[in-house]
Structure 1
Amino acid sequence: MALAAGCAGDAANGQRQAAPARQEAALKKQPARPAGPPAARRLDCARLRCVAITFDDGPGEHTGQLLDRLKESGARATFFMLGQNVRGNEQLVRRMAYEGHELANHTWSHPNLTGMSSGAVRSEVRRTQRAIQQASGVEPKVFRPPYGATDAQVGRAVGMPQIMWSVDSQDWLHHNVARNVSAGVKSPKPGGVVLFHDIHHETVNAAPKILAGLRERGFTLVTVSELFQTRTLKPGSRYTNLW
């Protein structure tokens, strides 16, 4: 009996010693998490048929699904985010950065900036800069004024390049998947900036066909900063497309 008990004890000890080894082997098989955002791509959009797809007003409940679809397509986009929506969605914001998308500033609460003091404009921008940087480790380089409403005073207060758009999909108005696909595929021209909103599920549902359709037209899908990397963008100035 003593011999049997000893053998059982040895077996148990062996199992306990083997457990850490199995756990270590399992950890080695898991894919390594990225250390940070990928390196910037060097693209010559003066030669390539580039287009920048942008999404405003998020992150929201549909943003994660949109990120899945962008990842499946291998496309990169630019997210003009509201600072108040970053709170509670920090993991989504971090994922955007780590998957190569551009994080951009769209104010804290989406006001019409032209009716505000310079100090109030700066507060909207700076609070959003901090929120995005704290969530992702990335400081936005570009800005989009809500409603596209801006003037010289706003530009000076913002102190960042203001990125407008050459194509407004009007997804915010029509909420129609087929119309979003048509606008997103047929309207863009090389060097263009296309406006969508990731807070609308119709836009997210249209995304796969939009991305595929643009690729069929020979477009390279880039971020805003990739689109303009051959140009020096001036703080406060407005830009609607590469040309």
Structure 2
Amino acid sequence: MKKTLALWAALTAVALFATGCTTADADAPAASTSGSVTPSAGTGTGAPGVPATRDPRPAAYAKWGLKPLAPPPAPPAKKPVTRAAGQPVPVVSDIATDEKIVFITIDDGAEKDPEFLAMMRDLKVPVTMFLTDSAIRADYRYFDPLVAQGHGVANHTLTHPNLRTLSADAQRREICGQQDRLTAEYGKRPRLFRPPYGNWNEATRAAAGQCGLDAIVLWRESMQIQNMQYQRGDRKLHPGDIILAHFRGPSELKGRTMTQMTANLLRHIQEQGFTVARLEDYL
């Protein structure tokens, strides 16, 4: 009997060796031909010890009827636009770059749509807000979540006047006064300034410099309700273009909402092969 059992065990061992199986191998997954485990669809890298994660962007964008924008390139090591010591404040409508990026700026602050806060939280698209005190003072706190999300706060004067009609002193009061107000409300002194209506003169430039601003920012395109207005004859976006939009409500948008206008803007940008970068990284 003992001889029979020993012979059976020996024959079993030979069979297992010949097939390449062991009791430990029987429950293990088959090895990938590439030498690594293939991750499940929609997961992370599959690196050992790293939990697989699903990219949240498609779902976040789909919520607003959009496809994800391409990630922007890394910011340049040296900003393309700087204010040289002793020189006037630069005035820019676009940024010199070969990258297919544009910059979104939103003016005034009159409309305070709570859905827009949710949209910006979901999409994580950078914008720069040029705020006017007379438009935001009824609810300064509306903009706190946007500031916390990392969106830029910039100066658009206290009362939105046509600066070219004002004296140098009056211009300085409008610009420096808004610098102080925004700093007090949001904890950081703005670096960028946009004159209302895009109207400025050399007194504006001097006042901006005296108030500690680094650049006067104009624009190349403006977003209306569904379409953009272009300054160039080819009616196309160009690398580095600055786009103007406004915090607008349903009465201005003919029944549409701020989020619908923003979605249309993002579609125009994406359809032309561009993505959105952070303006403050370039100025």
Paired position in structure 2 for 1:46: 97
CA displacement at 1:135 relative to structure 2: 1.6
| Match 2:276 to one of 206, 218, 221 | 221
Write out the 4+ residue segments of structure 1 that deviate beyond 4 Å after TM superposition: none
Q: Say which one has the larger Rg.
A: 2
CA displacement at 1:210 relative to structure 2: 2.3
Which 5+ residue runs of structure 1 have no aligned equivalent?
Answer: 1-40, 172-176, 230-243
| Match 1:193 to one of 242, 245, 248 | 242
CA displacement at 1:121 relative to structure 2: 0.8
Question: What is the DSSP-based 3-state SS (H/G/I as helix, E as strand, rest coil) of the residue aligned with 1:123?
Answer: helix
Question: What is the DSSP-based 3-state SS (H/G/I as helix, E as strand, rest coil) of the residue aligned with 1:79?
Answer: strand
% identity of equivalent residues: 26
1:123 to 1:135, Cα distance in 2 relative to 1, 3 A: same
Task: Tell me which moved more, 52-61 or 194-203.
Answer: 194-203
CA displacement at 1:211 relative to structure 2: 1.7
Root mean square deviation of aligned Cα: 2.4
Paired position in structure 2 for 1:178: 226
| TM, length-normalised to structure 2 | 0.56
1:67 to 1:59, Cα distance in 2 relative to 1, 3 A: farther
Contact 2:128–2:151 (8 Å) recurs in 1: yes
Paired position in structure 2 for 1:56: 107
Contact 1:113–1:146 (8 Å) recurs in 2: yes
CA displacement at 1:47 relative to structure 2: 4.9
CA displacement at 1:91 relative to structure 2: 1.7
The whole-number CA distance in structure 2 between the counterparts of 1:71 and 1:218 is 23
The whole-number CA distance in structure 2 between the counterparts of 1:195 and 1:108 is 19
The whole-number CA distance in structure 1 between the counterparts of 2:130 and 2:226 is 24
Letter in 2 for 1:198: F
Letter in 2 for 1:113: L
Letter in 2 for 1:90: Y
Contact 1:188–1:194 (8 Å) recurs in 2: no
Give per-residue Cα distances to partners, 1:124-178, cap 9 Å, x unaligned: 1122112211221121100000111111111101223110001133x2xxxxx33
The whole-number CA distance in structure 2 between the counterparts of 1:193 and 1:86 is 23
Question: What is the DSSP-based 3-state SS (H/G/I as helix, E as strand, rest coil) of the residue aligned with 1:168?
Answer: strand
The whole-number CA distance in structure 2 between the counterparts of 1:156 and 1:59 is 28
CA displacement at 1:216 relative to structure 2: 4.7
Contact 2:226–2:265 (8 Å) recurs in 1: no
State how 1:201-212 maps to structure 2 within 5 Å: 201=250, 202=253, 204=258, 205-212=260-267
Question: Which structure shows the higher helix fraction?
Answer: 1
